[in-house]
């Protein structure tokens, strides 16, 4: 049930300044990057502190009117899209950031833009290795709510690995704080984890404390042209090299055509980083002997290739690509890519992604064959024990995966139980995950 005059009630309770209902605001803040769901929010609210968020959630419970937390709106699955008159609660004004010098940590309100947090760390001569093309707009709260990973996962893990603590307003309106800054802690299950990837359904993240890392002294970047994916895993990602490899980003020949180039079946950008130049030199010598074209890039060239890699999803979005965010076990990656090549006779499936962790984004650019490709690629993923969402979440767009991937049904049941017990009025993102 929803109230029809919700904007009026909100304005009465929270004041005109924090509530926006004009068309341009509703359009801009009503949806994320995914354009396939029409935005129809009832109002956009800009809370300025935790108390505002608590009051908004109490308001939503009182009126049984759903709300959608919203960060930088770079999500790819309609998680932050309000298509059913929901109130959008934006974290835009929650943008304070603080340095904790004793522990080299950053305390961020959840609306801090990811790149701002990274730059803040760099100013302190430290780094926050959250790395993907959306970080100039995404927020730290949104990164955790989507369990975001990206290019540096192979070395530094996903965004959640850097968390030392979070504050969350629960669907009951209660503010809680959870820590994860001890090496050992067996006080029951590690419940901080339920908020990672929860996509706004279990609570509104208001504050995040992040650990920063020391910056590696030496970084080298290489570009490889290759035909056989096993080359990367057998010859490059060997135990000896693995510790200094900080990214293995790859793209196929279809993606190369986006830049009017077609060099080889696959290209990979590999970043090596270490405090020891000797370690890097050893690794480079090792790679020089693997029997394929390798170019060592200078800083300017490396930046150009990184920019190119980051432009791939943007160019594909311009082509209205349907994005599948698949992860398969490394041992099955070769078969996965080979089978896609076999089914894609006309160059309509563009593959790129994070080779070191088996996460390949398969982008279908074909209105006519979309259904066929999606079905076949998902069947292939099931047969290879893969996941239909490695790092982009489910949102509203990909709820069908629960039936396409039957081995996730126990997880869905547990998620439903959790949702019912934590959010009995179903007020937080009711259309995400569930029908």
Ligand X SMILES: Cc1cc2nc3c(=O)[nH]c(=O)nc-3n(C[C@H](O)[C@H](O)[C@H](O)COP(=O)(O)OP(=O)(O)OC[C@H]3O[C@@H](n4cnc5c(N)ncnc54)[C@H](O)[C@@H]3O)c2cc1C
Point out which span in 16-24, 62-70, 236-244, 285-293 binds ligand X (CB under 6 A): 62-70
* Dist. CA 431–CA 6, nearest whole Å: 19
Q: Do strands 245-252 and 218-226 pair parallel, antiparallel, or not at all (unpaired)?
A: unpaired
Mind giving me the DSSP string for 325-343?
EEE--GGGHHHHHHHHHHH
List binders of ligand X among 173-202 (CB under 6 A): 199-200
Supply the DSSP string of 269-282, one letter for each residue: EEEEEES-HHHHHH
Q: Which of residues 312-331 bind ligand X (CB under 6 A)?
A: 313-314
Q: Which is nearer to ligand X, 195 or 287 (CB)?
A: 195
Q: Which of 211, 270, 432, 433 binds ligand X (CB under 6 A)?
A: 432
Strand partners, 105: 100, 211
For residues 276 and 416, give the distance between their C-alpha atoms in angstroms, rounded to a whole number.
49
Minimum CB distance to ligand X smaller for 191 or for 288:
191
Residue number, 194 or 382, with CB nearest to ligand X: 194
The percent of the chain in helix, strand and coil, each rounded to the nearest 5, is 35, 25, 40
Output the residue with the shortest Cβ distance to ligand X.
142
Q: Minimal distance in Å, beta carbon 137 to ligand X?
A: 6
State the nearest-atom distance from the C-beta of 132 to ligand X, in Å. 3
CB of 300 to ligand X, least distance (A): 23
Question: Closer to ligand X at the Cβ: 280 or 353?
Answer: 353
Reduce the DSSP state of residue 175 to 3 states and report it: strand
**Minimum CB distance to ligand X smaller for 197 or for 216:** 197
Instruction: Determine the interface stretch with ligand X among 9-17, 70-78, 246-254, 326-334 (rule: CB under 6 A).
Output: 70-78
Confirm or reject binding of residue 396 to ligand X (CB under 6 A).
Answer: no
Burial class (CB within 10 angstroms; exposed 0-12, middle 13-18, buried 19+) of 320: middle
Among 150, 197, 216, 430, binds ligand X (CB under 6 A): 150
Q: Which is nearer to ligand X, 280 or 394 (CB)?
A: 394
Interface segment toward ligand X; rule CB under 6 A; list 73-81, 224-232, 235-243, 296-304: 73-81
Among 45, 60, 205, 302, binds ligand X (CB under 6 A): 205
In whole angstroms, how close is the CB of 90 to ligand X at the nearest point?
8
Phi, psi dihedrals of residue 381, rounded to the nearest 5°: -60, -45
**46 contributes a contact to ligand X by CB under 6 A:** no
Contact pick of 32, 207, 220, 344 for ligand X (by CB under 6 A): 32
User: Closer to ligand X at the Cβ: 110 or 381?
Assistant: 110
Return the number of the residue (317 or 370) whose C-beta is nearest ligand X.
317
265's CB contacts (< 8 A; 6+ apart) are 226, 227, 252, 253
Question: Would you count residue 216 as binding ligand X (CB under 6 A)?
Answer: no
Binders of ligand X: how many residues, by CB under 6 A?
Answer: 38
Q: Is 76 in the site for ligand X (CB under 6 A)?
A: yes
389 is a contact residue toward ligand X (CB under 6 A): no
What's the DSSP call for residue 160?
G
Decide: 319 and 379 in contact? Cβ < 8 Å. no
N- to C-terminal Cα distance for the chain?
16
Phi–psi pair at 98, nearest 5 degrees:
-140, 145
CA distance 372 to 370: 6
User: Are 205 and 168 contacting, i.e. CB atoms less than 8 angstroms apart?
Assistant: yes
Q: CA-to-CA distance for 352 and 268, rounded, in angstroms?
A: 9
Which part of the chain contacts ligand X (CB under 6 A), choosing from 64-72, 173-181, 252-260, 403-411?
64-72
Closest CB to ligand X among 10 and 53? 53
For the four alpha carbons of 221, 226, 229 and 230, in that order, the dihedral sign comes to negative
Residues at the site binding ligand X, with contacts judged by CB under 6 A: 32-33, 68-76, 79-80, 91, 110, 132-134, 138-139, 141-143, 145-146, 148-150, 199-200, 204-205, 313-314, 391-392, 429, 432
């Amino acid at each position: 049930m929803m109230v029809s005059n919700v904007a009026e009630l909100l304005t009465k309770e929270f004041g005109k300044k924090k509530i926006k209902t004009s068309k341009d605001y509703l359009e801009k803040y009503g949806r994320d990057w995914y354009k396939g769901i029409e935005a129809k929010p009832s109002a956009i609210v800009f809370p300025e502190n935790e108390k505002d968020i608590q009051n908004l959630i109490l308001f939503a419970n009182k009126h049984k009117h759903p709300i959608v937390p919203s960060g930088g709106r770079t999500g790819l699955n309609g998680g932050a899209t309000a298509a059913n008159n929901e109130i959008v609660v934006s974290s835009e004004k929650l943008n304070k950031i603080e340095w904790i010098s004793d522990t080299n940590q950053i305390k961020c309100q959840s609306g801090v833009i990811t790149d701002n947090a990274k730059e803040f760390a760099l100013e302190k001569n430290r780094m926050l290795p959250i790395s993907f093309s959306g970080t100039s707009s995404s927020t730290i709260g949104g990164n955790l709510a989507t369990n975001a990973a990206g290019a540096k996962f192979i070395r530094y893990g996903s965004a959640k690995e850097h968390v030392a603590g979070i504050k969350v307003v629960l669907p009951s309106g209660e503010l809680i704080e959870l820590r994860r800054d001890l090496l050992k802690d067996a006080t029951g299950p590690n419940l901080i984890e339920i908020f990672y990837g929860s996509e706004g359904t279990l609570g509104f993240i208001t504050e995040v404390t992040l650990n920063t890392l020391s910056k590696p002294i030496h970084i080298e970047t290489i570009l490889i042209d290759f035909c056989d994916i096993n080359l990367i895993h057998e010859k490059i990602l060997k135990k000896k090299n693995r510790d200094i490899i900080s990214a293995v980003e790859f793209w196929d020949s279809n993606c190369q055509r986006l830049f009017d180039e077609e060099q080889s079946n696959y290209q990979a950008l590999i970043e090596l980083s270490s405090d020891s130049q000797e370690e890097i030199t050893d690794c480079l010598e090792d790679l020089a002997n693997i029997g394929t074209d390798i170019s060592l890039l200078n800083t300017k060239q490396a930046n150009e290739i990184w920019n190119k890699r980051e432009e791939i999803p943007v160019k594909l979005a311009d082509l209205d690509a349907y994005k599948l965010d698949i992860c398969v076990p490394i041992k099955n990656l070769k078969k996965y890519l080979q089978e896609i090549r076999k089914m894609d006779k006309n160059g309509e499936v563009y593959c790129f992604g994070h080779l070191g962790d088996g996460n390949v984004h398969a982008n279908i650019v074909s209105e006519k064959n979309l259904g066929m490709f999606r079905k076949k690629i998902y069947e292939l993923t099931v047969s290879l024990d893969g996941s239909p969402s490695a790092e982009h979440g489910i949102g509203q767009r990909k709820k069908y995966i629960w039936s396409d991937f039957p081995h996730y049904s126990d997880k869905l049941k547990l998620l439903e139980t959790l949702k019912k017990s934590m959010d009995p009025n179903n007020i937080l993102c009711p259309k995400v995950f569930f029908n």
